[in-house]
Amino acid sequence: MTKPSNPGHAGESVHGHVFRLLSAHARNEGVLLDLGCGLGAVAASCAEIGLDYLGVGAEPDGLAELAGRGFSTAVVDLGEQAALLQRLEEVLAGRSLAAIVALDLIERLTRPAELLAVLGEVARKHPGAPLVASVANVSHFDLAAKLLSGRWDVTSEGLLDERQVSHFAPGTFEHELSRAGWKQIKADDLVARHSDQHFPETLTALSAGTPLHDFLLQVREQSGPGALVDQFVRAYLPVAASQLTAARRPMTPASKGASAPFLSVIVRTQGRRLIPLEDNLTSLAAQTNRDIEVIICCHDTADSDHAAVVEVMERLPRWLVGKIRTIRVEGGGRAHPLQVGVAEASGRYVAFLDDDDLALCHWVDEFDKLVRLRPGAVVRAGCATHSIDEESWECGTGYSQIGPTTTPYPLEFDLVAHLVGNRTPNCSVAIPRSCFTDLGVSFDDELPVLEDWAVLLSASLLCGVASTPEVTSLYRRWKRGYASHLEHPEETWDLTTWSIRGRFDARPLLVPPGTVSRLTQMEMTANTVEQLNKDLDLLKDALATSTAEVADLWVEKGQLLARVEAAEQLLAVAEQRAAVAKRQVKVAERQAAVAEQHVAVAEQRVAVAEQGAAVVTQGVELAEQRAAVAEQHVAVAEQSAVVAQQSVALAEERVVFAEQRVAAVEQSVALAEERVVFAEQRVAAVEQGAALAEERVVFAEQRVAVAEQSAAVAQQSAALAEERVVFAEQRVAVAEQHAAEVTAIAEARFHEFRDAEARAKAAVAERDAALARLDEAVAQAEARVRTEFEATKSWKATVPLRVALKLVDAYRQRSG
């Protein structure tokens, strides 16, 4: 197949990159050994850097042409591994080796590692001589996209040169060189946005801007380096012979991760909350499935805090201690320790716990069950939550649960809902480690919060999610203190949410089966919502009208209520007045009754007076009868006038006298009537006095009530005073008891003192007696010394006694 034009690296060539590497890394002089030299593409530039060119290969025609151009050549069969080393030594003929060049050669060998090993041996004899190699990259995006489209277009040269028998991606190339004993010193790869395989241009997977192309390119770029590398162009030096290991085996599936645990648990901590951390780790010790490793990432932790974390770790059950380790992570934000932890992990899956999270005992096991059902998927379980708060106790400080346990997060995973916002605590998912190592998913340290949501979205879009409603973890929220939901303001959460949404909105997404149904459901829901909104608008209008009507009615009602209130007030006043009138009527009636009683009394008095008057009348009548008698007497007198005119005159005088007496009686009647009037006046005066007396009685009752209240207050005060007196007496009693106790103690101590004094005096006396005995003994001893000396004339014989005497002196000095 004809190689098409290659606009991707127009103006650039592999040879230019090789020349740069040689200029920088080849030795200053000696031979440049060009293996599989072909037409000697680098021969001409060799002289520019002062090296001697030697092209070697197995094709005589090419070598002859090269020799014809004046360059040194030699025939070397690179496939003859057994004799290759010796042959290369021969062609070098003792000359110094400046560098080895192998361009487009390695991929044409069936067992390139063997050639590379021989070259290593050659290079080690010329320290500093590098190997510069170029190899086609079959993991270039163009080839990947074409393979997915079912195309494998071999060409006469380029990425799929028809002579290639080995194929290399970045990892395999590195592995091949490494196992042959070469260490890379510089990479100067040839990058080509469009390689020679970028054809046909109409192929959808190759057409930039199509969702398929953009998505595949995104996957390829996230998967690792080299997506757009056309040729690996790199310089190597051989490692020392002593560093060559026996592990020169090719990569096999079985050698990768055979002993790796199922789950790597990354525990993020700052070493500040040791008690929650200890609980967290104990919850891991309680797991029913122990196929785990635990990596505690201590983020920005002081030495003392890290030591405390290690101490906590070492107090765990032995089996867990063997599966746990700490790493210290410095700098970066919240995401940094997670990413470092992932890099350290070796499990097939990775799960994350903050130091205050708790795993229920089947946390690992439920993940494991899900992975067995859906290998490679992100696995997710239910998560519960409750609030906790710091507490201080007699036995120290810690924390306690302060609220009920709830499950606010959806028990089943919904990708569409998660594209809108995070609904999954980080502790409730496990992600295939391959997502991080092979697909380039990573925690973004630029995100202040929600770094876990971004990773969950990236991983779930690529891997899908297998979930279970079984609740297996507990996300706990602090009421106060350090916590991400308390540390960052609401604005940060909102902005980060929008930022993450924007990232995913800008790229093509791979959605799982069922998404169409979900979106359909959402669309239908949206339509329903729209219709409901319209209905709502209509209802709002109707409501506004009704509200206005109701407002009018309320105004009207208010007016009516005001009127009712006024009427009620008037009625109340009227009722008050009626009540007052009734009371007045009752008073009046009572007064009338009293007055009637007074009247009755007066009438009785009048009756008495009238009886008196009747008596007077009777007297008058008697007087009249007597006057009649007198007239009869007058008639008798007149009849007797003749007898005695003097008697007539006397009789007339007696009549006059009787008239005077009548007049007197009449005056008495008038006087009685005046006395009746006077009695009535006195009755009225008595009534006034009674009313005044009643008022005085009311006033007196009020004074009595006030006096009773004062008496009650006085009684309370008296009771309080009595209580205070009792309390004071109790205090006095306590004080007296205390004083008695103190006195007793003082007396006891005084007796003790007297006893001690007596004992001291006795002791002094004993001491004095002892000293006296001692003095006596000393005098005797001194006498014995003198006697001994006099007897022996030798001071030596007296030494023991003199030593004893010195000891006695020393004792006296010490004891004073």
Nearest approach in angstroms of CB 431 to other proteins is 23
> Of 103-111, 259-267, 273-281, 430-438, which segment contacts other proteins by CB under 8 A?
273-281
Q: What CA–CA distance (Å, rounded) separates 383 from 429?
A: 10
Tell me how far CA of residue 191 lies from CA of 16, 32, 134, 140, in angstroms. 13, 26, 13, 10
- Give the nearer residue to other proteins in terms of CB position, either 227 or 358: 358
- 627: contact with other proteins by CB under 8 A: no
Nearer to other proteins, 331 or 396 (CB): 396
CA 464/CA 442 separation, integer angstroms: 17
467 in Cβ contact with 473 (< 8 Å)? no
Q: Is 405 a residue that touches other proteins (CB under 8 A)? A: yes
Of 545, 386, 341, residue with least CA distance to 476: 386
Residues whose CB falls within 8 Å of the CB of residue 384, separated by 6 or more in sequence, listed in order: 405, 406, 407, 471, 473, 474, 475
Per CB under 8 A, the segment of 11-19, 313-321, 496-504, 778-786 that binds other proteins is 313-321
Q: What is the nearest approach in angstroms of other proteins to the Cβ of residue 316?
A: 6
- End-to-end CA distance of the chain: give it in Å, rounded: 123
Q: Which stretch binds other proteins (CB under 8 A): 300-308, 388-396, 548-556, 653-661?
A: 388-396
Is 393 one of the binding residues for other proteins (CB under 8 A)? yes
Is the Cβ of residue 395 or residue 693 nearer to other proteins in the bound state?
A: 395
Query: How many CA within 13 A on the CB side of residue 771?
Result: 12
Q: Is 370 in the site for other proteins (CB under 8 A)?
A: no
- Asked if 391 is part of the footprint of other proteins (rule: CB under 8 A), the reply reads yes
Which stretch in 78-86, 398-406, 611-619, 692-700 sits in contact with other proteins by CB under 8 A?
A: 398-406
Nearer to other proteins (CB atom), residue 406 or residue 688: 406
How long a stretch of residues is the chain? Answer: 816
Binds other proteins (CB under 8 A): choice among 212, 244, 411, 594: 411
Nearer to other proteins, 393 or 491 (CB): 393
* CA distance linking residue 157 with residue 107, whole number of Å: 12
Judged by phi (left if over 0) then psi (alpha if -120 to 50, else beta), residue 11 lies in: left
CA 269 to chain centre: 15
Residue 351 near other proteins by CB under 8 A = no
Nearer to other proteins, 110 or 397 (CB): 397
Tokens 């790493």 correspond to what residue? Answer: 327
Q: Which of 358, 377, 378, 465 binds other proteins (CB under 8 A)?
A: 358
For 104, left (φ over 0), alpha (ψ -120 to 50), or beta?
left
Cα 575 to the chain's mean position, in Å? 66
Options 394, 490, 695, 790; binder of other proteins; rule CB under 8 A: 394
Q: Quick one: 86 or 405, whose CB is closer to other proteins?
A: 405
Determine, following the binding rule CB under 8 A, whether residue 250 of this chain makes contact with other proteins: no
Tokens for 284, please give them.
Answer: 């891991």
The distance from CA 569 to its chain's CA centroid, rounded to whole angstroms, is 60
**Between 405 and 533, whose beta carbon lies closer to other proteins?**
405
Radius of gyration of the chain (CA): 65
Binders of other proteins in range 464-523 (CB under 8 A): 469, 471, 474
Judged by CB under 8 A, the chain residues 155 through 214 that form the site for other proteins are none
Q: 447: closest CA among 495, 392, 489?
A: 495
Choose the binding region for other proteins from 155-163, 271-279, 447-455, 773-781 (rule: CB under 8 A).
Answer: 271-279
Binding window for other proteins (CB under 8 A); candidates: 26-34, 218-226, 275-283, 761-769: 275-283
Task: Name the residue among 467, 454, 283 with its Cα closest to residue 357.
Answer: 283
Binding mask 662-691 for other proteins (x = CB under 8 A): ------------------------------
In the bound state with other proteins, the residue whose beta carbon lies nearer, of 174 and 279, is: 279
152 φ, ψ to 5°?
-145, 90
User: Is 437 a binder of other proteins (CB under 8 A)?
Assistant: no
Are the CB atoms for 199 and 143 separated by under 8 Å?
no
Q: How far is the CB of 725 from other proteins (least distance, A)?
A: 35
Size of the site for other proteins (CB under 8 A): 40
**Minimum distance, C-beta of residue 388 to other proteins, in the bound complex (Å):** 9
* Complex with other proteins: residue 215 or 409, whichever CB lies closer: 409
Site string for other proteins, 280-299 (x = CB under 8 A): --xx-xx-x-----------
DSSP annotation string for 742-804: HHHHHHHHHHHHHHHHHHHHHHHHHHHHHHHHHHHHHHHHHHHHHHHHHHH--TGGGHHHHHH
CA dihedral of 608, 611, 613, 617, whole degrees rounded to 10: -170
Sign of the torsion formed by the C-alpha atoms of 485, 488, 494 and 500: negative
Q: Which residue has the tokens 């096991």?
A: 365
Binding of other proteins by 727 (CB under 8 A): no
Considering the complex, state which of residue 473 and residue 798 has its C-beta at the smaller distance from other proteins.
Answer: 473
Contacts of 627 (CB under 8 A, 6+ apart): 655, 658, 662
**Where does residue 304 fall: left (phi above 0), alpha (psi -120 to 50 degrees), or beta otherwise?**
alpha
* Closer residue to other proteins, CB minimum distance, 158 or 382: 382
Selected binder of other proteins within 30, 130, 382, 425 (CB under 8 A): 382
Contact pick of 362, 380, 433, 633 for other proteins (by CB under 8 A): 362
- Residue 644: how many CB atoms within 10 A of its CB? 12
Pick from 242, 245, 259, 392: which binds other proteins (CB under 8 A)?
392
Q: Is the dihedral of CA 779, 785, 788, 789 positive or negative?
A: negative
Alpha-carbon gap, residue 812 to 816, rounded angstroms: 6
Does 127 bind other proteins (CB under 8 A)? Our answer is no
* Residue 306 C-beta: closest distance to other proteins, Å: 18
- Could you say whether residue 381 binds other proteins (CB under 8 A)? no
Stretch that binds other proteins, among 49-57, 231-239, 391-399, 543-551 (CB under 8 A): 391-399
Q: What angle do CA 522, 523, 524 make, to 5 degrees?
A: 90
Write down the least CB distance from residue 313 to other proteins, Å: 10
Smallest gap, in angstroms, from Cβ of residue 268 to other proteins? Answer: 19
Q: How far apart are the C-alpha atoms of 216 and 141, rounded to whole Å? A: 8
Contacts of 271 (CB under 8 A, 6+ apart): 277, 298, 301, 302, 305, 306, 308, 309
275 counts as binding other proteins under rule CB under 8 A:
yes
Q: Is 69 in the site for other proteins (CB under 8 A)?
A: no
> Least separation, in Å, of the C-beta of 284 and other proteins?
9
Closer of 160 and 429 to other proteins (Cβ): 429
Smallest distance, other proteins to C-beta of residue 381, A: 11
- Of 181-189, 341-349, 401-409, 553-561, the segment contacting other proteins by CB under 8 A is 401-409
**Which residues here bind other proteins, judged by CB under 8 A?**
275, 278-279, 282-283, 285-286, 288, 312, 315-319, 358, 360-362, 382, 384, 386, 391-396, 398, 400-407, 411, 469, 471, 474
